[in-house]
Amino acid sequence: MKKLMWGVIVVLLISISGLYFFRAYPEWLKEDIYQQNGYTLQALNKKEPITFEFKKDWMDIQEETDIGINEVIQTKGASTVTLESVYRDNGQYHISLNIKQDFNSTTEGRFLSFYEIKKNSFAVRDGRAMWSFYTMDREQIDGTFLIGGQGSGPGEDIKVKLNVHQLSELEKPFRIKAGVFLYQYQKL
């Protein structure tokens, strides 16, 4: 009976440890790739386009209104880019984007990132260099709609603030393009 009890406890401990390892493993792999621990990392494109439509309905939202969108706008390599929300406050639109990584290959692959990744350092590109605006016919719109306020939070979240009054003069809807980094990783 004691042997059976110990056997059950050992199996339980192994199961719990295995569950923890497999849940935490993707984060460890991401960390190793970003820190280049056992991996090479090469920027293939410093302005890989992510494009989405800023819809007319969003232009008409009231102050202090948050629209949860949660729409996948692009997938590439290990990355899924999601337009999470549009919020209007104090004469500004706040747009939230997120890049989630799903590194399913431990040997090599590609992924998108808001970060400029160098050995042991990360930086987010200047917003004015990252964002551009287009008509639905893909003609670039000149203007300074970007107020700034971008930042990143846990994972790869980025928010951008746009001037409501300047955008209200545009043809609706219009397109927004963000230039992000496209990286390739390979196990050493």
Q: Where are the beta strands (DSSP E) in the chain?
A: 39-54, 65-76, 79-89, 92-101, 108-113, 115-118, 121-124, 131-134, 146-148, 156-163, 174-187
Summarised one tens digit per residue, pLDDT across range 9-50 is 655 555 454 444 443 356 778 888 888 889 999 999 988 999
Domain count, the chain: 1
The pLDDT, as a whole number, for residue 168 is 72
115 versus 52: the higher-pLDDT residue is: 52
If one compares 172 and 151, the residue with the highest pLDDT of the two is 172
Specify the 3-state DSSP secondary structure of 32: helix
Q: What is the pLDDT of residue 138?
A: 83
- Domain assignment of residue 106, given as a range: 2-187
Where is pLDDT greater, at 71 or 56?
Answer: 71
Q: According to the model, what pLDDT value does residue 74 have?
A: 93
Tens digits of residue pLDDT in 58-116: 878 888 888 899 999 999 999 999 999 999 888 888 888 889 988 888 889 999 988 88
Q: Is the pTM of this model over 0.85?
A: no
Q: What is the pLDDT, as a whole number, of residue 39?
A: 92
